[in-house]
Amino acid sequence: MARPENDLMAPLIWSAKVPHKLKIFAWLLFKDRLNTRVNLARKHIIDSDICPQCAMTTEDSNHLFITCPLGQS
C-alpha cells in the first residue's frame, strides 16, 4: 500500500538542515498554501488571478517559480 504524499515529503522538509523559516516556506509551497494570486482569488481577497508580471496566465506556484517567462531573470 502506497504511503500518502505527506508521509514521504514531511520528513524531508522538516529534517532538512536549513533555517526554520525556509522549512516553513517549503512546506507551504508543497501544500500549495503560498499567497499566490490563484490562492488569494480563491479566498476572494483579490479579483484577478492573472500573473501581473507577464499577464499570460494565472499565477499559481508552478507559474510563479518555474514557468513565468519574466520571473526567471
CB of 15 to Zn ion, least distance (A): 33
CB of 40 to Zn ion, least distance (A): 15
CB atoms within 10 A of CB 58: 14
For residues 46 and 36, is the Cβ–Cβ distance under 8 A? no
**Would you call 56 helix, strand, or coil by DSSP?**
coil
Q: Rule CB under 5 A: choose which of 34, 53, 58, 61 binds Zn ion.
A: 53
13 binds Zn ion (CB under 5 A): no
List of residues contacting Zn ion (CB under 5 A): 51, 53-54, 68
